Amino acid sequence: MVMHARSGGNLEVMGLMLGKVDGETMMIMDSFALPVEGTETRVNAQAAAYEYMAAYIENAKQVGRLENAIGWYHSHPGYGCWLSGIDVSTQMLNQQFQEPFVAVVIDPTRTISAGKVNLGAFRTYPKGYKPPDEGPSEYQTIPLNKIEDFGVHCKQYYALEVTYFKSSLDRKLLELLWNKYWVNTLSSSNLLTNADYTTGQVFDLSEKLEQAEAQLGRGSFMLGLDTHDRKSEDKLAKATRDRFLGGNNITLVEGLEQLRELKELHIEGQRLPPGEKLLFDPRTLHGLSGSLCVLNINNNNIDEILDLAILNKLTHLYAADNQLDDIQELEMVFSQWPQLNQMDLHGNPVCQKPKYRDRLITSCKSLGELDGKEITDVSRQFLIKWKASKDAKKKITDGRNLTGQITYPSHAGVPLSPQHALSYCSTGFLWKRKPHWFAIPTMNMRSDCGDI
């Protein structure tokens, strides 16, 4: 498979894998190349490839190879092992009609550069499935022109653990090959073999640094657009319609105010030390207020969310396992989010407050799910009417019981109108004649229309 991928150079190649399933392990026993048309960014299988595929499998069974097709592979020369949007669609289709099926991606360029096989195996989630929150995955560099495709589809599939095995015959053949070609291995230079790839990596890194500096300038100091007018939106920003930043030790969310089309922000589990909490830059919150619909801030030591009230487009809030304790603050903030439909606050101290669930349901009229439990329209209307009735009774009771006394001591004096005349001086300023003061007796007043 690696040799086939390497033979394609900078063009993508494609092949089929034969094997079997042993428990929860998919074992690849053989593979063969397909006659397909490849480009530097994609590979297309035509009718001839499907005919060749069927004929090969049939002929293999006639010579005793009884394995079935268990997956497909293709190459990503120079830009890593992951699934693009087209790859995800292809794999979903295969899993739907040829299950079990696995997708393997090989990067022949990075294989030669690193001196070890760069290979990844993937399967897609069912359509509409939302994967659980995960920690940071293994780091890999993605070229700038591929970031958008990578970021949009990265949550639609998952990677499988890959191990290699060989028979005694394979071991003997590899030893013979090593004895013959070890001199070539020591005398070759990866810098010479992959000169174009290395140069491309340097240019790609340079462009990423320039764009990162520009974003920092806009985010931290609100500077105007600079080189090339930033093309109104750079490729890094376009890749963040849905931004997943979980588990990156971030303490301050800033510099995102230019991403005015950002729909989802996942910044959960920053692994902050005790006493330190996740904070948001007000400029970033203002910039995201017109678009952000989904916010995940689970497990970040957050003890207040008053600053988040400006995010009035939110439909989903995940703030579990924090330190939220003020239910009145939550009621006030949630009343500013008319579209909030789903919320998770489990693991916060506020969950232990009396009537916690009832109070939040009545303060957020559109809420459909709280802490994983559905809220029916019947229960919502009951709670709203119950709260209105309770408030009305409390108002009546307070009105009847309110009794106050206003006492003026006998030595207090107030001016009476005949002696409190006003005059204008020649300069036009208002002045008043010193009034005569009269003492008035003490008065008691009752609020229930009693005697004065």
Query: Is the pLDDT reported for residue 226 higher than 70?
Result: no
Report pLDDT for 208: 65
Query: Is the pLDDT reported for residue 438 higher than 80?
Result: no
Distant-in-sequence contacts of 243-249, Cβ < 8 A, 24+ apart: 244/154, 244/155, 246/133, 246/134, 246/135, 246/136, 246/270, 246/296, 247/135, 247/136, 247/271, 248/136
Q: What is the pLDDT of residues 239-252, one digit of tens each?
A: 444 466 767 778 88
Q: Which helix (H) or strand (E) holds 37?
A: strand 37-38
Query: Is the pLDDT reported for residue 360 higher than 50?
Result: yes
Least confident of 138-147, 310-319, 336-345: 138-147
User: Which has the higher per-residue pLDDT, 220 or 170?
Assistant: 170
Report pLDDT for 302: 93
Mean pLDDT of 93-103: 87
Query: Is the pLDDT reported for residue 416 higher than 60?
Result: no
pLDDT band, very low/low/confident/very high, at 305 (cuts 50, 70, 90): very high
Query: Is the pLDDT reported for residue 436 higher than 70?
Result: no
Mean pLDDT of 279-295: 91
Calpha distance 204→191 (Å, rounded): 17
Mutual angle of helices 356-363 and 327-334, in 10-degree steps? 20
Report pLDDT for 321: 92
CA dihedral over 279, 284, 290, 292, signed as positive or negative: negative
Percent of the chain with pLDDT over 70: 66
pLDDT band, very low/low/confident/very high, at 37 (cuts 50, 70, 90): low
Query: Is the pLDDT reported for residue 194 higher than 50?
Result: yes
Q: Find the DSSP H helices in 35-141.
A: 47-62, 85-97, 108-114
Burial zone of 389 (CB within 10 Å; 0-12 exposed, 13-18 middle, 19+ buried): exposed
Both tokens assigned to 252: 């301050």
Task: Set out the domains of the chain in order of their start, with CATH numbers.
Answer: 2-165 (3.40.140.10), 240-389 (3.80.10.10), 403-452 (no CATH)
Give the global pTM: 0.42
Mean pLDDT of 141-149: 58
Report pLDDT for 349: 93
Q: What is the pLDDT of residues 59-84, one digit of tens each?
A: 888 888 888 888 989 888 877 788 88
In the numeric block, the tokens 């289709």 are attached to 93
Q: What is the mean pLDDT of the chain?
A: 74
Query: Is the pLDDT reported for residue 184 higher than 70?
Result: no
pLDDT band, very low/low/confident/very high, at 397 (cuts 50, 70, 90): low
Report pLDDT for 48: 74
Q: How distant is the alpha carbon of residue 267 from its chain centre? A: 6
Mean pLDDT of 334-360: 89
Calpha distance 359→354 (Å, rounded): 9
Least confident of 102-111, 292-301, 442-451: 442-451
Query: Is the pLDDT reported for residue 217 higher than 60?
Result: no
Q: Residue 439, SS3?
A: strand
Query: Is the pLDDT reported for residue 362 higher than 90?
Result: no
Least confident of 3-7, 11-15, 145-149: 145-149
pLDDT band, very low/low/confident/very high, at 316 (cuts 50, 70, 90): very high
CA angle 444, 448, 451 (to 5 degrees): 45
User: Which has the higher per-residue pLDDT, 403 or 46?
Assistant: 46
Residue type, 25: T
